Structure 1
Amino acid sequence: MTDLGRGGVGVSFTHETLPQRVVFASYEAAGHVADEVARLSATRPMVIATAANRALADPLVAALPAAVRHDEVVMHVPTDVAERARMVAEKHDVDVVVSIGGGSTTGLAKAVALTTGLPIVAVPTTYAGSEATNVWGLTEGGRKTTGVDARVLPRSVVYDASLLLSLPVPLSVASGLNALAHCVDSMWAPRVDPIDQALAVEGIRALSQGLPEVVREPQGIAGREQTLYGAYLAAVAFASAGSGLHHRICHVLGGMYNLPHAQTHAVVLPYVLALNVPSVPASGQRMAAAFGAASALEGLQRLRERVAAPRALRDYGLRETDIPAAVDAVLAAVPPNNPTPVTRENLEDLLRRAWDGGEPV
């Protein structure tokens, strides 16, 4: 794989930017959501938000035309859950889907859009980043299937950092590190180009500055805004660059063993970075500079210590006996241009270290 870290003479690439409107303003979500729905000439919205997010969603719903509420949201979007949401949309002749929540909520809205073509207005309440991608995912029988489709890209995203003030610090950390994984994976993903890398590097800088502020002052808006900004850049880079080894691993683990999405990404990230970065030293130098560290791995590990990051997959339900089957499933999904060749031996070592929280090497 070519290391695009330095750019320069001989660089040649094709970059496609996804068409999407983004509104970023704290404490203004209700008005902006109503405006974005009106821009689509929609009058029959379906609002997807969990019962736990009802307090956040109510002021936004109050500003909309009469809306259908739907709160059955399940992690990894099981196909039967998606089908019930589609039936609700059809029954009420919905003309726009408004998702208010994290990655699972956005994922369910995407599942509805995938088969109906309905536009989505997304209002993120975590740093998941799904709202800025055209990637969908559905789970059935312990297998998570993902794909790319223009119909699932939200037409508009309303970012309001004040909606994240109630997100608990541990979940904020896991979600922010999930966003950081989008950045890191985008440095060497299958369709990476210099634009993706520029977005990813700036995303790393913003996230590495914002997340410690969130931990230090959970009710401070500045840290939340910086982290949310970084998460958006991460998602845009990821949408263009594609799914690299890190995400292939985490999708397998999530689908097969129902592990929590953000925490799984947060745990696995340093091990994939340690595996790949020696093969792309220029990219590693750019990431190190974004972290403000001597090396990318040192910067990541220092950040993880500062924010008390999730450490081991065994803490989230993965059993040691699950690892061999996971290795088989990941090997079948490894991107062909991963910087470091992936073997059964180094992949099993990676997963065992991630399972027990050992040092990434």
Structure 2
Amino acid sequence: MEAFEYRPNPAHIIFGSGSVAKTGHQLKQHGLSKPLILSTPEQVSQAEALSATLTEDVKVVGIFSEATMHTPLHITEKALQYAQEREPDCLISIGGGSTIGLGKAVSVRNGLFHIVIPTTYAGSEVTPVVGETVDGKKTTRSDPKILPSLVIYDIDLTMTLPVGMSVTSGINAIAHAAEALYAQSGNPITNLFAQEGIRALARSLPELLHDKSSVSARSDAQYGAWLCGTCLGSVGMSLHHKLCHTLGGSFNLPHSETHTIVLPHALAYNAPKVPGAMKMLADALPESNGDAIVGLNKLLAKTNAPRSLKAFGMKESDIDKAADIAVGNAYWNPRAIERDLIREVIRRAWAGEDARIDL
């Protein structure tokens, strides 16, 4: 076995149906009583419902409900000003990646204790990374201080998540684990997490199409998302995540849908250089017949996942610009980054083609 380093994710995890009811008790245990709750405009009702469940000795100082995708700096600055005026002693982010990203961007700046209650399968809640957008350009920042202090997984809050959003959020989670399998800083522990997380999501997402209220499928999906997110928080990412940050931040494309569409193409590009990782991925995907790309294409088809960036407003004329941005900053990837080939990867994702290993 090759030498490796493994640094466990230090976040406190509470998992299970009804777990959100433990929020008030957790606040007390940490000596906190003045939370500021963050959400998107669409999820303000969940933020209000959470506020109503907290005990009388906890005073919610406000609900900031302007979180939006890609964590634009001007929204973070607005939230920081809101917090400064209300003087909370902690933050509670309830929602998906947009809200969690805002919570992380705020907490790393003002040092507040950060509790996250995820309602999607984004996985951001267990990573020390935040992606922020300034003037249409998205950059990532990594710091142990970004990692939320407490994560409360309650499947009850995911039961009404639309099936389409469940699928793209779940494939987004699979992307975290798939890239972890060939990460430069990968190790046997994250490989185990990655395979188990992918299996759980590949098992649960098709089931949700038949029964979106399946408790077992929702529980499996949330469990898988936690494991996959932990992989993202433990090792570095490569081409797939770099492409998605470029496309999302520069062309305002939706986060989980972009990850879903790009994933098979990015993996197909790297596949020739990482046969061991592709075998582990194939073993975790049903109906792969030993071919990870085949297995992923089948999973996307079975779950009616979106396949085309064009359908979300990306123009064909944006492909060259995206390729230029994607190769503009050097980063580690198992296969050398070649601009013309990366352009073709982006073009295939734009057109909605099946992924294939022929570049």
User: How would you bin the TM-score normalised by the shorter chain?
Assistant: over 0.9
Identify the residue that residue 301 of structure 1 maps to in structure 2.
297
Identify the residue that residue 59 of structure 2 maps to in structure 1.
66
Alignment equivalent of 1:126, drawn from 120, 125, 129: 120
Q: Does residue 33 of structure 2 align to residue 43 of structure 1?
A: yes
Q: One-letter code of the match for 2:316?
A: E
CA displacement 1:88-116 (0-9 Å, x = unmatched) = 11111111000000000001111111210
Scaled by the length of structure 2, the TM-score of the pair is 0.95
CA contact 1:248–1:333 (8 Å) conserved in 2:
no
Identify the residue that residue 340 of structure 1 maps to in structure 2.
335
User: Structure 2 matches for 1:1-361, cutoff 5 A?
Assistant: 8=1, 11-29=2-20, 31-64=21-54, 65-67=58-60, 68-292=62-286, 293-294=288-289, 295-336=291-332, 338-361=333-356
CA contact 2:40–2:68 (8 Å) conserved in 1:
no
Pairwise CA distance, 1:285: 1.3
Q: One-letter code of the match for 1:355?
A: W
Q: One-letter code of the match for 1:26?
A: S
Q: Which whole-Å CA distance do the structure 2 matches of 1:330 and 1:37 have between them?
A: 42
Q: One-letter code of the match for 2:6?
A: H
Q: One-letter code of the match for 1:360?
A: A
Q: One-letter code of the match for 1:345?
A: D
Superposed CA RMSD? 1.2
Q: Which whole-Å CA distance do the structure 1 matches of 2:6 and 2:49 have between them?
A: 38
CA contact 1:122–1:131 (8 Å) conserved in 2:
yes
Q: Which whole-Å CA distance do the structure 1 matches of 2:313 and 2:193 have between them?
A: 33
Identify the residue that residue 3 of structure 1 maps to in structure 2.
none
Q: One-letter code of the match for 1:123?
A: I
Scaled by the length of structure 1, the TM-score of the pair is 0.94
Q: Which whole-Å CA distance do the structure 1 matches of 2:190 and 2:201 have between them?
A: 16
Q: One-letter code of the match for 2:8?
A: T
Q: Which whole-Å CA distance do the structure 2 matches of 1:66 and 1:52 have between them?
A: 23
CA displacement 1:243-274 (0-9 Å, x = unmatched) = 21100000011111110000000000000111
Q: Which whole-Å CA distance do the structure 1 matches of 2:216 and 2:329 have between them?
A: 39
Pairwise CA distance, 1:331: 0.8
CA displacement 1:172-219 (0-9 Å, x = unmatched) = 111111001111111122322222211111111111001111111101
Q: One-letter code of the match for 1:49?
A: S
Q: Which whole-Å CA distance do the structure 2 matches of 1:203 and 1:80 have between them?
A: 35
CA contact 2:181–2:280 (8 Å) conserved in 1:
no
CA contact 1:190–1:335 (8 Å) conserved in 2:
no
Q: Which whole-Å CA distance do the structure 2 matches of 1:340 and 1:155 have between them?
A: 35
Q: Which whole-Å CA distance do the structure 1 matches of 2:9 and 2:84 have between them?
A: 27
Pairwise CA distance, 1:56: 2.5
Q: One-letter code of the match for 2:155?
A: A
CA contact 1:37–1:121 (8 Å) conserved in 2:
no
Aligned pairs, number: 350
Q: Which whole-Å CA distance do the structure 2 matches of 1:258 and 1:186 have between them?
A: 26
For structure 2, the residue ranges without an aligned partner over 5 or more in a row are none
Q: Which moved more, 1:43-52 or 1:77-86?
A: 43-52
Q: Which moved more, 1:303-312 or 1:281-290?
A: 281-290
Task: Indicate the percent of aligned positions where both proteins have the same amino acid.
Answer: 38
Identify the residue that residue 4 of structure 1 maps to in structure 2.
none
